[in-house]
Structure 1
């Protein structure tokens, strides 16, 4: 056999192995530390590990990635993406996709951005996450029948996985921040340069030269940790108009952060109507906002700030596809925006505060006492579900492990040297039922979901894990393991008044 023929055989073997490898696994087309792209039937799916709310995910897909939130309207597409997530180097639980509804009363239900329906009937609900037959169904939704609906609704759709690589849809509050998946055909790069900075109100307006459409401009601002500008006073409007005039070259029109839909014009960062007066508006309601022509306001489009048609700058409707300069806004005070904040998770009896500080168990326990609360106790399945919801559906990134209230006690019979272990809630002094205490487990009203392991004084502090989305697992850990915790603050007349001092998702002391 000639050497050339041997080389050809080796080359063909390597090519076959590579092809087989790509057929078995979902291999990224491109990747970085924060994103990966995958190719499926002439579409490129970009998984972006940047937690944002659903609306900002939509903005980023349209403007920054030149695509749309992914439409997974076939089983093939959802299977592909779930497999890609299972092979991804990015640590992601759930990702926003391009389906939502207006509200729970929306007669059209969940729909993809192109208008097609994402069905959700009783037959589409996953009854058991271990049911291998059920995961062949499309569309398949996570079972949240007994999960309390968050205030403000669960109207936006994310994709999660069960059984490692099987897709399941999940309805969440649109204000939760999650990674997202875009679907696109091609990229388009545009050079952008900051030309002016204007201080006004409680922050900075950044004026950019770089002709982008409205969606691209909005996405650029989000990537820079800002928002397309919300301008609420005539004073700021005039300062920006003067800044645009003195830019070189001068800027006649620039995108700002408002859109119109069916006659409703709203600021995207607050959700408020552009015609709604605020505490800092410095003009009368009959002349605010200064539109170029208030008598013939267009029904839809995007808002620009225009300074070349009048002496004072005015707002002007325009097609969102037009390319022009734009203005971003950065709030410097740290004061939350006007959009209604995500309510503090609660039930009839408690507020649940996720403490995003890494504490040892004892420090976590004492920190909750300082907050006039207690380290979370799983005394019922309802409380367990609430804790898992706070871990998985908080404003920021999901949390996998937390400290909960429980310490392991060891007793030794002096006559038989028999050693027994029992978990105790230090808050109530009561024993926590476990499966190893057969008599007690039989009569317990609620048995926590224990890990099947032998108890040990090496791991005497109680930990709760979040498995999948709403499956919990309880086991002991070394008390000097730094991790997050959840405090339960009782709803009483003396404590409910301090609700505004609790910041969901980021509490620290």
Structure 2
């Protein structure tokens, strides 16, 4: 047994011995996690450490967490080797992750620079870069084929990495406000003890004052991980209350990070993207008072914002280098966030994902209560809409749903048994390859699993393979799983009808 084999095998046994949940192949060293928990795994490749975090967040919050919590950046996969590595690492991972945010994006659909990893570092996207099942393995980059896929309302400006054919990397353009796990890269990590000092009630929420001596990015990440945001302050009243709290804390606090940073003279709040010079609608300040800068005439062009307090005077906003380490203030309350994508729809239907584990009949009845029907595969366009609704759900991708289809069993005079599928909503046949071998005969045939039909599995299910490949087959009707309702736009008058009593209902 050679020395390299022994070393790799010993490392795997060590990982198992210390109680890790990670088990990986030692035939490829980079597949073996360096460190891991049930929430994240860390891999080393070409002297860079890559952290896969199983925490669904928006692209912007993923960027914040990589900077502040993992002391790195969103992963830059600017070579085929890097993208292959991460796709294989995900395929070997013990975490159930399908896609992860990576560090590429564009400003908008009209951005002339297109998708890029950073200033001057392009992520190419041309017609020749579209994923194909028969495509070459040496191509880079490879993108999801959106030729027949509608772009989400609000655009698809941020980039995630998915896997096709188990471990082949495919870049996917998604709406930036979808919630996804993410991949960071870094050189080192350092833990800091953080403790809460005071809580101040103001506006419609709570300001939490923390001691921990973090830089701005680390402080922002700490707030996000605890379901808050680095403080956005919009009133003189809150400003004075926070200043008084900083004074009376022991030891007293002279400055603390708040949630704004500046670049090229543009200073905005991190949680809303709104300029700090825009007077909030709820503010009690006069236009000339806001923002309460230390010296507005000589503001720095870049940096991060701190709340500065000296003596008994009211605190002011002051620019500082983002690398400085100091206490910080988080805000917990109603945020003015960018709206999520609108309800998925086409010219005829809204597609509503019901995120509640229901038996088939309960899912069928639930859609009728919502003035709709359980989703039916009448044509390929509807199939694409259903797969999009499943794959681009804002919290996590969905793999299985109930659709409208029941199996019917009949006997002829000689007791020969035959099976056929039908849609109970309209009574129409659902064509299958067993009974309709000539595809020209059927108006549309869903992508069936190659199996014999049985009354043990009489309810129809849709699976999502890769990103936009579907597979239908029968399941026992008492299998609990999600469903999608199709609500006809013409039946809704002005807006969709949503029943609050439908526990787990959520528009994707």
TM-score, reference length from structure 2? 0.91
Q: 1:50 to 1:10 in 2, by over 3 A?
A: closer
Show the counterpart of 2:465. Answer: 467
Tell me which residue corresponds to 1:67.
Answer: 72
- Alpha-carbon spacing, 1:293–1:349, altered in 2? closer, same or farther (3 Å): farther
The answer for the alignment partner of 2:208 in structure 1 is: 206
* Aligned: 1:38 with 2:38: no
Report if aligned partners of 2:407, 2:458 keep a CA contact under 8 Å in 1. Answer: yes
Q: Quick check: 1:155–1:173 contact (8 Å CA) kept in 2?
A: yes
Quote the residue 1:223 is aligned against. 225
Segment drifting more, 470-479 vs 489-498: 489-498
2:28 to 17, 24, 30: 24
8 Å CA contact 1:395, 1:505 repeated in 2: no
Give the corresponding residue for 1:157: 159
The yes-or-no answer on 1:187 pairing with 2:189 is yes
> Aligned partners of 2:305 and 2:491: how far apart in 1?
46
Residue ranges of structure 1 left out of the alignment (5+ in a row): 1-8
The C-alpha deviation readout for 1:322-343, integer Å capped at 9, x for no partner, is 2111111112xxx663432332
Is 1:58 aligned to residue 56 of structure 2? no
CA distance in 1, matches of 2:499, 2:263: 36
Kept after mapping to 1: 8 A contact 2:209/2:330: yes
* Structure 2 residue matching 1:382: 3-state secondary structure: helix
- Whole-angstrom distance in 1 between the partners of 2:72 and 2:167: 25
Q: Is the 8 A contact 2:370 2:499 kept in 1?
A: no
Residues 68-112 of structure 1 deviation map (CA, whole Å, 9 limit, x = unaligned):
111111111111111111111011101111111111111111111
1:286-365 matches, within 5 Å, as 286-308=288-310, 311-331=313-333, 337-365=336-364
| Gapped regions of structure 2 (runs ≥ 5) | 13-24
CA distance in 2 between partners of 1:279 and 1:432 (Å):
55
Cα distance in 2, alignment partners of residues 269 and 488 from structure 1: 34
Deviations 1:296-339 (A, max 9, x none): 433322222222288222222222122111111112xxx66343
Q: Give secondary structure in 2 for the equivalent of 1:492.
A: helix
Deviation at 1:176, TM superposition (A): 0.8
Count of residue pairs the alignment pairs up: 494
Aligned to 2:90: 85
Q: Distance in 1 between matches of 2:224 and 2:279?
A: 25
In the alignment, which residue of structure 1 is the partner of 2:287? 285
Q: 1:441 Cα shift?
A: 4.5
Q: Is the 8 A contact 1:266 1:273 kept in 2?
A: yes
Aligned to 2:19: none
Residues 419-458 of structure 1 aligned to structure 2 (within 5 Å):
419-438=417-436, 441-458=439-456
My pick for the range that moved more, 214-223 or 284-293, is 284-293
- Alpha-carbon spacing, 1:22–1:243, altered in 2? closer, same or farther (3 Å): same
Residue by residue over 1:136-179, the C-alpha shift from the partner in whole angstroms, topping out at 9 and shown as x without a partner, is: 20111121121100111111111111121111111111111111
Distance in 2 between residues matched to 1:12 and 1:157, nearest whole Å: 37
Match among 453, 477, 480 for residue 479 of structure 1: 477
Shift of 1:12: 8.9
Note the C-alpha offset of 1:489.
1.7
- Tell me the equivalent position of 2:270: 268
Q: Deviations over 1:236-261 (max 9, x none)?
A: 22211111111111111111112223
Equivalence for 2:235: 233
The answer (yes or no) to whether the contact 1:411–1:420 under 8 Å persists in 2 is yes
Cα 1:89/1:439, change in 2 over 3 Å? closer
| 1:48 lines up with 2:53 in the alignment | yes
Per-residue displacement from partner, 1:239-293 (whole Å, max 9, x unpaired)?
A: 1111111111111111111222333322222222223344422223343332223
Contact 1:260 1:301 in 2 (8 A): yes
Structure-2 separation of matches of 1:263 and 1:460: 63
Q: Secondary structure at the match of 1:443?
A: coil
Q: Does structure 1 conserve the Cα–Cα contact (< 8 Å) formed by 2:371 and 2:497?
A: no
Give the 3 Å change call, closer, same or farther, for CA 107–360 of structure 1 in structure 2: same
Question: Hey, what's the Cα distance between the residues in 2 that align with 1:263 and 1:44?
Answer: 33
Q: In structure 2, what is the equivalent of residue 136 of structure 1?
A: 138
Corresponding residue of 2:505: 507
C-alpha contact 2:84 2:168 (8 A) present in aligned 1: yes
Report the Cα offset of residue 10 of structure 1. 9.6
Distance 1:32 1:77 in 2: 23
Q: Is the 8 A contact 1:356 1:508 kept in 2?
A: yes
**Aligned equivalents of 1:23, 1:114: Cα separation in 2:** 37
- Alignment match, 2:387: 388
Separation in 2 of the partners of 1:491 and 1:240? 49
Aligned with 2:317: secondary structure? strand
C-alpha distance in 1 between matches for 2:156 and 2:248: 46
- After TM superposition, give the deviation of residue 181 of structure 1 in Å: 0.8
- Alpha carbons of 1:276 and 1:376: their partners in 2 closer, same or farther (altered >3 Å)? farther
Please give the alpha-carbon distance, in whole angstroms, between the structure 1 residues aligned to 2:117 and 2:185. Answer: 12
Query: In the alignment, is the contact (CA less than 8 A) between 2:178 and 2:340 conserved in 1?
Result: no
